[in-house]
Amino acid sequence: MSHETILLVDDEADILELLRYNLDREGYKTISAMTGEEALQKIESHKPDLVILDLMLPGIDGLEITRRIKNNPARAGIPIIMLTAKGEEADIVTGLELGADDYVTKPFSPRILLARIKAMIRRKHLKTVEPETVIHIHEMVIHPGRREVIVDGNPIQLTYTEFQVLYYLAKRPGWVSTRSQIVDAVKGEDYYVTDRSVDVQIVGLRKKLGSSGKYIQTVRGVGYRLSENSDENE
């Protein structure tokens, strides 16, 4: 059974009840808040292991809560899963760039949300990949020290930028990254590049990786991720 504490933040009572029911059944301890102000108070008093956060809240909204959590060194490590309405792609991108870790759109499947929660908590407990750590994922072996990628035993020739993009995504399997996050990680915040430039790098990567290119998934209107499991669909 799980013992993590999860803060549920939503201004709809029926959504909170649905979340509580499913999480309690999985053994998680849940606390809830219906306003942004109440959420910030409970983050300080309960120090939750994860926050499920509706973006549309009265008073302090979900984006501002995300900003405050991630700008607080003592709380920045708390994972945030955003709950969003369909069509809120701009808010999703903003939330991810503020530091939120994932999102689920309403109406959501409790099973999918539970899977995201379990994956997020698992990642939280994993040690951060060190710069020289070799990554084994799917059929790929990524060696940062040698700047080498091997797929099914065959070396793949990538450009500098293609390698950096792949390595960045592979260090965060399953996590959605916006195009600007990818640019910042690969070139630094002062490097100017358009969304189209990132898309071109992804197209090149998929082509060179062959059948393994399918693991680089497009999250429409948001960005990209490298799938964590081989059976994940886009």
Instruction: State which fold the 135-226 domain adopts.
Output: Arc Repressor Mutant, subunit A (1.10.10)
pLDDT tens for residues 109-168? 888 899 888 888 877 665 444 556 889 999 999 998 888 999 998 999 888 788 889 999
pLDDT digits (tens, 9 = 90+) for 182-206: 887 776 444 455 667 788 889 989 9
Edge-to-edge, what's the strand order for the sheet holding 177-178?
A: 177-178, 223-226, 216-219
Segment 28-43, tens digit of pLDDT: 999 999 999 999 999 9
Q: At what angle do helices 62-70 and 36-46 cross, to 10 degrees?
A: 30
Note the pTM of the prediction, 2 decimals: 0.68
Q: Which CATH number fits domain 5-125: 3.20.20.70, 3.40.50.2300, 3.40.50.300, 3.20.20.140?
A: 3.40.50.2300
Q: Where are the domains of the chain?
A: 5-125, 135-226
